[in-house]
Amino acid sequence: MRHSSLITRSLPSLRYGWFAICAALSTLWLGLGFAALWGGQTLSASWEQRLDHTTFITVPTLDGRSTSNEHIATIMRAVSQLPGSDHVHFLSKAEINTLLAHWSATPWPDPVPAIITLHYNGDYRVLENAVHHLDTNTLILPPNPQSETLQPLLAVLKRGSSLIAGLCFMSGILSNLGALFLSLNTLSLRQDKNLSLLEKLGYPLSKFYRSRAIYFGGAALAGGLVGLGILFTLLTSISSLVRPFLHLTTQSQTWLTSTSITPLHIMVLLFLPFLQGIISALISHRRLLQATRSSL
Amino acid sequence: MINLHDLSLPVAPHHHVGTEQRVSLTLQRGALCWIVGSSGSGKTALLETLALQRPFKGVFRLFDQDITPRTSSRTLTSLRQRIGFLEENPLFCDTLTVCENIALPLEINGVKRSEYLRETSTILSWFQLDLYADRLPASLPLLVRWQLACTRTLIRRPPLLLIEASPLISLPDFRVRLFSVLNDLAQSGSTILLTTNDDSICSDPPASILHLPSNTPSKRDSERDTLSPNLSAPYSDQRREPRLS
């Protein structure tokens, strides 16, 4: 206490404020980088899952009678043999009723038409020829053209989120380098005339250096925690803005619970300030002690 | 108390062939000793080495402790607290007043504030420097700063006092007071080493006088250094305890 008072009176104050700001920025940028990376991936995966690639083949009823199973089986066999067709499936009556409920406001009268679903990547003229060759009354409903337009958008989204994450990581690293520079800058204290005088008079510099290292570690920790607070607030605001796109149904759902952020990711974010604090303290203390030992 | 053996001292080229010479020195407790030599003869380097403020080559024993480059910073710090070193151009903390500057050694040693303020006031009065107590050191002339630094060196009554005393030539009144204090300190067991480039001021206190070489050495000297470095430069021991070879 006595010595710290002496130091406060006789030495220039170090740039703890700037150091804390660097630590806060570093945490913020790195956190935003992780968020951009995870958020972009999660959003594109979520949209991709919701894309409908299904083609419907509807076989209408004839004279109020259901289509025979043999006829359906023939159509399914013919469709399955086409190149580019996959997941050929004959819908059950319950599935058909659910589907028709979306298409018509009133209940569909029995008998319901037979519906075959499939994923088809080939030429639709070939599919039409193959089906109409067996039954000219069948209707072929290709998937929503939105799925075709969304693919390039998703590619852009993935590239964009990677780019933003990269920029954020770069800014975080630059902020870290700034903090590192400031902590190494304490070595300039070795040139300080007043510190030199105190050393000559027998002032225990190792204690002073230890206390400086603790201050630096504390500043890094405080800055990191502030950065973490800003980051959480920012991400919560952003997730509330993009809530419709993320398909968050309830208000209680946040970016923390809805995306693919795992507890490990949260731990990494929480650990960053502590890591910065420890590293800063160790670097500062070690460098200053090395300088002290080389004095004789 | 002090045992230096085969210490390598840097000297100015006009004093010696090469840039260094070997010195051995022994000082007992309570010794009061002058080292006289012209500028560049190695006086300051010798004092800085004794004050543990410069790297050295050779064998050095201080306060019954071997000093090596591997000596821990903690040991060096505790030894420095027992040494009073007054340079010709002393350092001051410019953000502190004269009074606070002079109290620094006591404050570092953990003396209570009221006590070190009293001690500071007493020593400033004794040396008739109390009018500068509240001034900032940067605003004072060099000779006054030296006198103030002298009081700062003495206030702790260190067991080893190292003083670059050349400014005393211009301070006859201060010299009388200082020698009185130094005699008291030597009698109470402190070892005192003063350096000067003018031996006219060495007459007052009953002290040993050791001379550093003041002219360019002959060819024989340089051969002797090279062939038998431990024999070293031709210092002269005029009086009792100290030995400088």
Strands B20-27 and B191-196: unpaired
What is d(CA A207, CA B74) in angstroms, rounded to the nearest whole number? 10
Backbone angles phi, psi at B39, to 5 degrees: -60, 135
Cβ B24 vs Cβ B172: under 8 Å: no
State how far residue A215 is from chain B, nearest Cα, in angstroms: 21
Report the alpha-carbon distance of residue A127 to residue A106 in Å, rounded. Answer: 31
Whether the pLDDT of residue A166 is over 90: the answer is: yes
Interface ipTM? 0.75
Determine how many CB atoms are found less than 10 A away from the CB of residue A69.
10
- E-only strand ranges, A231-291: none
Contact B51 A200 (CB under 8 A): yes
Residue ranges of E strands in A42-133: 54-59, 85-90, 114-120
Joined together, the tokens standing for residue A204 give: 């225990």
pLDDT above 80 (res A136) = no
pLDDT for residue A1: 46
Are the C-beta atoms of residues A139 and A58 closer than 8 Å to each other?
yes
* Interface probe, candidates B108, B113, B157, B161, chain A, greatest A C-beta count within 10 A: B108
For helices A205-241 and A263-293, angle between their N-to-C axes, nearest 10 degrees:
160
Whether the CB of A197 is below 8 Å from some CB of chain B: the reply is: yes
Those of residues 263-292 in A touching chain B at CB distance below 8 A are 289, 292
Query: Which among A2, A3, A202 is the nearest to B80, CB-wise?
Result: A202
On the question of pLDDT at A93 being above 50, the answer is yes
Out of B71, B91, B108, name the one closest to residue A203 (CB).
B108
Contact at CB, B81 and A202, closer than 8 angstroms: yes
A positions 7-36 inside 8 Å of B (CB): 9-10
Query: What is chain B's pLDDT, residue by residue, as a tens digit (245 residues)?
Result: 788 887 877 777 666 556 677 788 888 888 888 888 888 888 888 899 899 888 888 888 898 888 888 888 888 888 888 999 999 889 998 889 999 999 999 988 888 989 999 999 999 999 999 999 999 999 999 999 999 999 999 998 999 999 998 888 888 889 889 988 998 999 999 999 998 887 777 766 667 888 776 544 333 333 332 222 232 333 334 434 455 55
The residue-averaged pLDDT of A121-143 equals 83
Q: How confident is the model at residue A260 (pLDDT cuts 50, 70, 90)?
A: low
* Confidence at residue A256, expressed as pLDDT on a 0 to 100 scale: 55
Q: How far is it between the farthest Cα atoms of chain A?
A: 112
pLDDT for res B210: 81
pLDDT of residue B152: 94
Write out the two tokens for A294.
């080389």
Domains of chain A plus CATH, in order, are 2-49+148-293 (no CATH), 53-143 (3.30.70.1430)
Among A10, A194, A293, the residue with its CB nearest the CB of B73 is A293
- DSSP labels, B165-211: -GGGGG-HHHHHHHHHHHHHHHHTT-EEEEEES-GGGGSSS--EEEE
**Chain A residues whose beta carbon lies within 8 Å of the beta carbon of residue B69:** 296
Are A197 and B92 a contacting pair at CB < 8 A?
Answer: yes
Check residue B240 and give its pLDDT: 40
Per-residue exposure over A267-291, b if at least 16 CB sit within 10 Å of its own CB, e if not: eebeebbeebbebbbebbbebbbeb
Q: Which amino acid is at A90?
A: F
Q: Residue A12: what pLDDT? A: 66
Average pLDDT, chain A: 77
Kindly indicate the confidence band of residue A78, based on its pLDDT and cuts at 50, 70 and 90: confident
List the one residue out of B222, B221, B194 whose CA is nearest residue B208: B194
Cα angle B194, B198, B199; round to 5: 75
Cβ separation B53–A194 shorter than 8 A: no
Buried b (16+ CB within 10 A) or exposed e, A78-88: bbeebeebeeb
pLDDT in tens, A206-250: 777 777 778 877 888 888 889 888 988 888 888 777 766 665 555
Cβ partners under 8 Å of residue A186, min gap 6: A14, A212, A216, A284, A287, A288
